[in-house]
Amino acid sequence: MKRALLTVPLSLILIGVIVTSFFLMGIKPDTSKISQAQKLAEYTKPAVVRIVDYAVVGWQFNNPNDPEVEAILAQLDYQSVIGGSGSGAIISSDGYIVTNAHVVETTQLDDEAVANAAFEQLVTIIADYFLVDFETAYQYMLTYTQYTGIERVIKVVLPGGDILDGEVKSYGAPVNEGKDVAVLKIEGKNLPTLKLGDSDDIQNQDNIWVSGYPAAADSDLLSPDSSLVSSMNAGQISAIDKKTEQGSPVIQINAAATHGNSGGPVINEEGEIIGLLTFRGDTVNGQEVQGFNFAVPVNTVKEFVNQAGAKNTASDTDRLYKEGLELYWGGYYKNALEKFEAVQRIYPNHSEIKKFIANSEEKAGESKTLWSEYKTIFYIADGVAGLLVIILLIFTFAVKPKQRSQAVTAAPTPPPPAPENTIPDLNNDGKIDVQDILLALQEQQKKQQKKDDE
């Protein structure tokens, strides 16, 4: 068929266009050059927080004959501050945070326990100043000093620099007293989060990472902004079947950690929390020995999450940020910039977003083309191409050409032969009559007689 020589190649070209469009739309950013550890570090940093828990105790000194002690108290503004800091992780977009109970222990003590701890701190200051033993200073201060009030404070420092009030929603017990877990709540929305995993699925020697704010990483030589940057240390699970004296399960890990890391998330290769760092192994000769640290399993943590009424929900911030990172690592800087700017709109104080926006803008000229962004155009073009292919195939194989009509001259039909028994007009009078019949019969009899004689 002559028409097929044109329509079939054209149909194949159109089909090739459709196949190519689907191939282009299916191309995804290649992030294989980025290590899993680096990915996890960037994913988790925005959701790891520093927690500061303390109590302020006011004092009144009642010995007017001792101006030296009065002067010391005046320098202290007649206050003592007790407490400490640790780490935690945001698990819901509306501000629920998991940490250790011992990280927020100070604010959970009753007034007497807080006052006693603060008083011992004050006595230590007096003893050191006057170079007397602790017991002597204790008895003296006990005679003339009383506390005037207690203020409890929990502050959550977000990686972006915001400092928010925290409220304890569920609380276990400090180390060696029970399950070392607490759940806090801060005010917020669209916060970065981490997903809670399943500690029943962990295996010995699984790779893990510990994230948090170790005090050993703090230094007067670092800038103030450095205190907002969490640290992440790699390691493996060393043992999964250990328990505390109270029978609470713990996971042993060999990742380096120190005080300040307490309450920080232990992350698996999927970026899920499988535990919270809780305590270190015993010191040797008064020195910390790294590689012997313990974590509360995440399934224990979930008990307190449920008590607090919290939901482990991701946010649009998480989704957009991760999509932006995938595009950025794949070289699609313009598309990544759109994602990062969307994050900034819904959560302006995201700790990493300004850096990635600046980097994406700088590299925009090198950006690859993300064909999946043109899906609508491709779908329209594919629809038109597909329709044309169908039309061409129908035209080629279903529609037959019309046949030309030709005039045919019919040959004259010869007259039928006269039957043998036709009676001739023997008397030539123009009609057949009785005489003709008789003559015909006679002639037939003669012919028959001749045949018989032969």
Q: Are 337 and 244 in the same domain?
A: no
pLDDT at 422 over 90: no
296: nearest Cα among 89, 85, 45, 49: 89
Lowest mean pLDDT among 7-21, 33-47, 129-143, 228-242: 7-21
For the chain, what is the mean pLDDT? 85
Give the per-residue pLDDT at 216: 47
302 shares its domain with 321: no
Residues whose CB falls within 8 Å of the CB of residue 223, separated by 6 or more in sequence, listed in order:
none
Q: Token pair of 221, please?
A: 């030589």
User: String of b and e for 338-365 (b: at least 16 CB within 10 Å)?
Assistant: bbbbbbbeebeebbbbeebbeebeeeee
The neighbour count for residue 237, using CB atoms within 10 Å, is 22
Q: How confident is the model at residue 448 (pLDDT cuts 50, 70, 90)?
A: low
The reply to whether 330 and 246 lie within a common domain is no
pLDDT at 405: 53
Q: Quick one: pLDDT at residue 229?
A: 78
Q: Say yes or no to pLDDT of 404 above 80.
A: no
Domain's final residue, options 289, 307, 325: 307
Shared-domain flag, residues 103 and 221: yes
Residue 441 has pLDDT above 80, yes or no: no
pLDDT at position 427 is: 56
pLDDT above 70 covers a percentage of the chain that reads: 79
- Domain presence at residue 408: no
**Structure confidence at residue 105 (pLDDT):** 96
Residue 108 has, within 13 A of its CA and on its CB side, a CA count of 20
Cβ count within 10 A of residue 380: 10
Q: Are residues 254 and 341 in the same domain?
A: no
Identify the band that residue 395 occupies on the pLDDT scale cut at 50, 70 and 90: low
Residues 107-133 have pLDDT tens digits of 999 999 999 999 999 999 999 999 999
**Domain membership of residue 270 as a residue range:** 39-307
Instruction: Inform me whether the pLDDT recorded for 346 exceeds 70.
Output: yes
CATH number of the domain encompassing residue 105: 2.40.10.120
Q: Report pTM.
A: 0.77
Task: Give domain status of residue 418, yes or no.
Answer: no
Residues 146, 202 share a domain = yes
Residue 400 has pLDDT above 70, yes or no: no
Among 291, 307, 323, give the residue marking a domain's end: 307
Residue 285 has pLDDT above 90, yes or no: no
The residue to which tokens 């019309």 are assigned: 402
pLDDT, position 56: 97
Domain count of the fold of the chain: 3
Domain co-membership, 390 together with 363: no
Q: Residue 427: inside a domain, yes or no? A: no
Q: Could you tell me if 277 and 387 lie in one domain?
A: no
Whether residue 85 has pLDDT greater than 80: yes
pLDDT band at 97 (very low <50, low <70, confident <90, very high): very high
Q: Is residue 262 assigned to a domain?
A: yes
Q: Are residues 247 and 324 in the same domain?
A: no
Q: Indicate whether 117 and 225 sit together in one domain.
A: yes
Same domain, 217 and 336: no
